[in-house]
Every structure is written in C-alpha cells, then in structure tokens.
Amino acid sequence: MSYVEVPGAKVPIRMWTDPASVEDVAMQQLRNVATLPWIKGLAVMPDVHYGKGATVGSVIAMRGAVCPAAVGVDIGCGMSAVKTSLTANDLPGDLSRLRSKVEQAIPVGRGMHDSPVDPGRFHGLATAGWDDFWGRFEGVAEAVKFRRERAGLQMGTLGAGNHFVEICIDMSDSVWLMLHSGSRNIGKELAEHHIGVAQNLPHNQGLVDRDLAVFVADTPQMGAYRNDLFWAQEYAKRNRTIMMALLKDVVARSSRSRSPPSSRRSARITTTLRRSGTTGWTCWSPVRERSAQVPASTGLSRARWARVHTS
C-alpha cells in the first residue's frame, strides 16, 4: 500500500490511509507533531485516531529526544498468543461457562488479585528473574513507590480499554489463546509522572501543545524516564506471561481432552507470538505508538470463540 504525503512544518506527514478519513482533531495533532524541533520523520497508520498530544496510530522519529506522551501511558502494551495442542473438539460445548471461569481467574478493569500470583505455581513457567525485577522497583520514580503493593496485586490482570483475552480456532481447528494488555496502573502512573516532569522543563515552554513535551538525550530526566520505561515494559511482559499461564490453566481444566490433567496443564505450547509497542526504543529509533495486531499469517478465525473484553 502506497502512502499519501501531506505537507508538514518541518517534515512531511506520510499517511498510509486517506487523509480525508482522519478526524480533524487527529489531523491537527499530526500537524503539531510535525512542528517539533527534534522531529525527523512522521508516519501515519490506517488505525490513526486522536490521542494525548500525539495521535494513536502514528510512528514518530526524533533525533536526541523522546515525547513520553507519544509513547503513551500504557507502557509496553502488546499482544501474546500461543498455539496449543488442543482442537475445537476439546473445548466445552458451553463457552459461556468457560468465559466465566476466565473472568474469575483474570481480573478485568481496575480489578486485582486478592494476593500476588506466585509464578512458581505454574508447571513449566520460568521463575528466574522475578526477585531481581521487583528489586529494581526501588529504582523507579519516588512519586509512585507507594503503589508497590497494588502493582503486585495487579500482576496477571487484564485492565480496561481495548484489552482482551480471547480463545480462538484457526483454519486447521487448532485452539489458540490470545491476549492484549500492558503495564496496568503502575505503567500509567509512571508515564503520567514523567509527562508532568517534561512539561515543566525550560526547553518545552512555548510548544504548540504542552502534551508534546520531550526529554532530550544525555540529561538526568531522560535517564530517569528510560529507567522507568524499561521497568514498566518488563512489567507488561511479565503481566502477559502470568495471564497466559492463568488462561492455559483454565482452558486445560475445562477441556474435554482425556489426557491427564498434568499434561494438559503443562500448556502444551507449540508456538508463541508476542508483539509489544515501544520495543527497541532508543533516542533515535522510531517510537511505536499504535495498537498491536496479530499477523494475518497466523490464520486465526473467530468462528468459535469465548472472549473477555473490558470495554
């Protein structure tokens, strides 16, 4: 698909969609981004829509700077999918009961677990690195450290917005487990803290939109943001890992398979796919700020599914 180039103040706005189909407020945000002193490139995806400062569905390349509001408040938002050895015939006939069990296992919205989920309870799930991960929480912004307990209780929860858990059947009748989530409330609070810090920096005064405030390279503020960004990305990844383990456990217990529970509960995974926004980020690499999509090559079908969606 070719792109349409719309003139911008400092860089052209390259749009992989019809500009006439984009809402006016989103187009204005794109024009605002194109005025930034650090901008080197701006690409617009078909799912573009209004966001905080910058649109959702755009890729922004800056040299020596990054805009925390453009990265977004759901740091590390991404997808995870596993292909199991189950087939459609292994699923229970009443998918509504299966959905209820999934909802009981994985809290949604602002929900959280009654106690932290122990990764060691899942057969085959690697437990290395968890203590180090939580230990590094001591190095995040002081303003959010009081959220440590909540962050622990929300590990393995879905969240709100466009996040979902889905059980799918592919074209060969294999069962896939798929979910979309991010860094939950702790990622949001870290992002909002750093957005506020950026907005008060001298070099950001006078910008066309204060939500486009940036951190510049080789500054303490950039270093602090990178530290918290990477921690929140890891939180999001581990959150999806725990949710997937919970989902596999529910599906295994609910399936019609005559295999012993121990073999069903071991997940029996043959393929794992993951995609996370803001991966591979540096001061120069483009920041990905868009919803993750499952590749079409997976051939996932929703002809028969049970879905937990938060909206």
Cα 168 from Cα 141, distance rounded (Å): 39
Burial class (CB in 10 A: 0-12, 13-18, 19+), 161: middle
Mean pLDDT on 291-302 = 35
Instruction: Give the residue carrying structure tokens 């199991």.
Output: 84
Reported as a single tens digit per residue, the pLDDT across 134-151 is: 999 999 999 999 999 999
Cα 109 from Cα 268, distance rounded (Å): 29
Residue 310 has pLDDT above 60, yes or no: no
What is the β-pairing status of strands 39-49 and 56-62? antiparallel
Burial class (CB in 10 A: 0-12, 13-18, 19+), 242: buried
Q: Which residues pair with 77 in a beta bridge?
A: none
Residue 291 has pLDDT above 50, yes or no: no
Write down the pLDDT at residue 257.
67
DSSP string, 45-105: EEEEE--SSS-EEEEEEESSEE-HHHH-SSTT-EEEEEEEEEEGGGS-S-HHHHHHHHHHH
For the chain, what percent of residues have pLDDT higher than 70? Answer: 82
Mean pLDDT on 159-174 = 90
Using a cut of 0.85, tell me whether the model's pTM lies above it: no
What three-state secondary structure class fits 168? strand
- For residues 124 and 160, the answer to whether their CB atoms sit within 8 Å is no
Residue 2 has pLDDT above 80, yes or no: yes
Residue 28 has pLDDT above 50, yes or no: yes
Reported as a single tens digit per residue, the pLDDT across 178-187 is: 999 999 999 9
Cα 42 from Cα 24, distance rounded (Å): 17
Write down the pLDDT at residue 256.
76
Write down the pLDDT at residue 255.
86
- For residues 201 and 217, the answer to whether their CB atoms sit within 8 Å is no
Residue 305 has pLDDT above 80, yes or no: no
Cα 71 from Cα 278, distance rounded (Å): 7
Cα 193 from Cα 182, distance rounded (Å): 17
Mean pLDDT on 95-104 = 92
What's the one-letter identity of residue 198?
A
What is the average pLDDT score of the chain?
84
- For residues 42 and 60, the answer to whether their CB atoms sit within 8 Å is yes
Which residues contact residue 43 at a Cβ distance below 8 angstroms, ignoring those fewer than 6 apart? 3, 14, 15, 16, 58, 59, 286
Model confidence band, residue 164 (pLDDT cutoffs 50, 70, 90): very high
Reported as a single tens digit per residue, the pLDDT across 233-266 is: 999 999 999 999 999 999 998 987 645 333 333 3
Write down the pLDDT at residue 267.
34
Mean pLDDT on 49-64 = 94
Residue 126 has pLDDT above 50, yes or no: yes
Model confidence band, residue 61 (pLDDT cutoffs 50, 70, 90): very high
Residue 303 has pLDDT above 70, yes or no: no
Mean pLDDT on 158-173 = 91
Instruction: Give the residue carrying structure tokens 């945000």.
Output: 29
Reported as a single tens digit per residue, the pLDDT across 187-237 is: 999 999 999 999 999 999 999 999 999 999 999 999 999 999 999 999 999
